[in-house]
Amino acid sequence: MTRDPDFDAVVIGAGLSGLYQAYRLREMGYRVLGVEASDDIGGVWHHNRYPGCRIDSESEVYGYFWNDELMQEWSWSERFAAQPEVLRYIHRAAEIMDIRKDFLFDAKVASAAFDEENDLYTIEFQQPYRAPVTARFVFSALGPLSTPQMPNLPGINTFAGESFHTANWPRDPDGFGPAPLDFTGKRVGVIGVGSTGVQTIQEMAKVAGHLTVFLRDPNWCTPLGNGPMAPERMDYIKANYEEFTAKCDASLAGFPHEFIQKDLFDVPQDERDATLEELYQGPGFSLWLGAYQDVLSDPAANRYVSDFVARKIRERVTDPAVAEALIPKDHGFGMKRVPLETGYYEVYNQDNVDLVDLHTTSITRVTPEGIETPEGLHELDVIIYATGFDAVKGSWNKIDIRGVGGISLRDEWDGGITTYMGMQCPGFPNFFMLVGPQSGATFCNIPRCSALAIDWLSDMMITAKESGVRRIEPEREAAESFTLYAGKLQSKLLLGQTNSWFTGINQNIPGRDKREVLLFVGGNPRFRAYCDDVKEHGYKGYVMS
């Protein structure tokens, strides 16, 4: 006798994507349960409350474009909103969707196992007091950057001062921001200079008695261009949201920046230099995602822009040796995620800031007093680890996910990731991923692109409901063909030939030294076209029964 599931669908994760997916399913008449490991909604914005945390997307394009009520009601206070404001926005969105009541909190999923006889998943939790639940479909909205990664440093647990990972920052119990920690006058050490480290360092330099930055590979950083959001601009945005949606949908990564449809060397030098200058001073990812079309694929064009940004660093950092240490040597401009900054380079001109170049020395260990290098001990009161994440697949790997015949998703992925549009893996019927490996939303303005994926999946679920489908699974051949396509697109860009979290490299995780296809870097329009084609051809590549 077959068993009916407790729920039609379970959504794992109450971040931006999970909340919207749960809402769509509920509105379609599915009996849905949301489960969230933490005690509240917000995903990364709930956890990343480090000083300086803010979005690198223009505020107006970061959010729920589909929600007219919210879009008309909400006025951003800054052009690039800070973390507390983004979290407030998510809370307000959840209120409008009335979605909180559909979620169970402090419910950390330990395993999800497919029951072939009944076409459902049994989901078990880490908390012993939570009974397992069953669901026909599982939507995992775990986030590509949500499993914090600490460095492998000897003695890390011996430090006697305070230490924090940026993605696990203490919270203000009564508000949306960080706990009121006082770093004034303290000796602070920061490890990591990715987007997070850069934002943290800028803020710490303002208050720390002494700040020591432990720098391994520097990144190419460009100005953020933040400032207050003028009320007239906000009015214009509210009246013209379609214009912004269209701009994002037409762009490579869902931001309001488009590449110049010319090759760099086809433009006279005066003109190209003036353009690069304008883009450097422009907001957000103007230079990364808005320069000449060949900068991210042609090594010579890329070298030209890298040299341009290197000159900027030399102009802004007074000590030439420090400037050289801050200029990346292992990759060209835009081959890794470009951190956006506000006065970051000038921090290194301050008397209270020192840089320890880990290319000329190394961290031997953490001691109770601080961080030790062969030259001596850096005494510290606080250590901040801005060392990033077990990116993209980390959060899925932490759950024991079992498909047909008991196969493990983790084991499958160890042999190489194969997905169909980043949404599903062969052998795992009814298990969907939002912003997972190879999804178009991983190399994109996440709320914009994840909404596209959620809307697409929701349409498929409407079709499934109407025709009484109990089981949805991609054909292996279709998935292999998609993954091959994603791999080919990745190899055309210089970033596909560079070690970073984009390509799955992480020096802190054993075995993560080979590049893989974790992102779909072909761009938002291409990804959408692929998904639309699958849908228009009767969900080709899927077996539904």
Q: Which residues bind ligand N01 (CB under 6 A)?
A: 55-56, 145, 151, 191-197, 214, 216-217, 337, 358, 386-389, 501, 507-508
Least separation, in Å, of the C-beta of 283 and ligand N01? 13
Q: How many CB atoms lie within 10 A of CB 29?
A: 10
Distance CA 541, CA 379 (A): 59
Nearer to ligand N01, 23 or 80 (CB): 80
The CA-atom distances, in angstroms, between 274 and each of 21, 267, 279 are: 44, 11, 9
For 453-457, the CB contacts below 8 A with 24+ separation are: 453/421, 453/422, 453/423, 453/531, 454/17, 454/20, 454/21, 454/24, 455/24, 455/66, 456/531, 456/535, 457/21, 457/139, 457/423, 457/432
E-strand stretches of 50-117? 103-104, 109-115
Least separation, in Å, of the C-beta of 502 and ligand N01? 8
Nearer to ligand N01, 163 or 507 (CB): 507
Compute the radius of gyration of the chain from its Cα atoms.
Answer: 23
Least separation, in Å, of the C-beta of 508 and ligand N01? 5
Least separation, in Å, of the C-beta of 141 and ligand N01? 17
The CA-atom distances, in angstroms, between 132 and each of 108, 127, 518 are: 11, 10, 31
Distance CA 284, CA 545 (A): 46
φ and ψ of 160, to 5 deg? -90, -15
Nearer to ligand N01, 46 or 272 (CB): 46
Least separation, in Å, of the C-beta of 148 and ligand N01? 8
φ and ψ of 42, to 5 deg? 120, -20
Amino acid identity for residue 146 in this structure: S
Least separation, in Å, of the C-beta of 233 and ligand N01? 20
Nearer to ligand N01, 111 or 168 (CB): 168
Nearer to ligand N01, 418 or 503 (CB): 503
Nearer to ligand N01, 331 or 402 (CB): 331
Amino acid identity for residue 139 in this structure: F
Nearer to ligand N01, 132 or 155 (CB): 155
Q: Which of 154, 201, 181 is nearest to 354 (CA)?
A: 201
Least separation, in Å, of the C-beta of 340 and ligand N01? 7
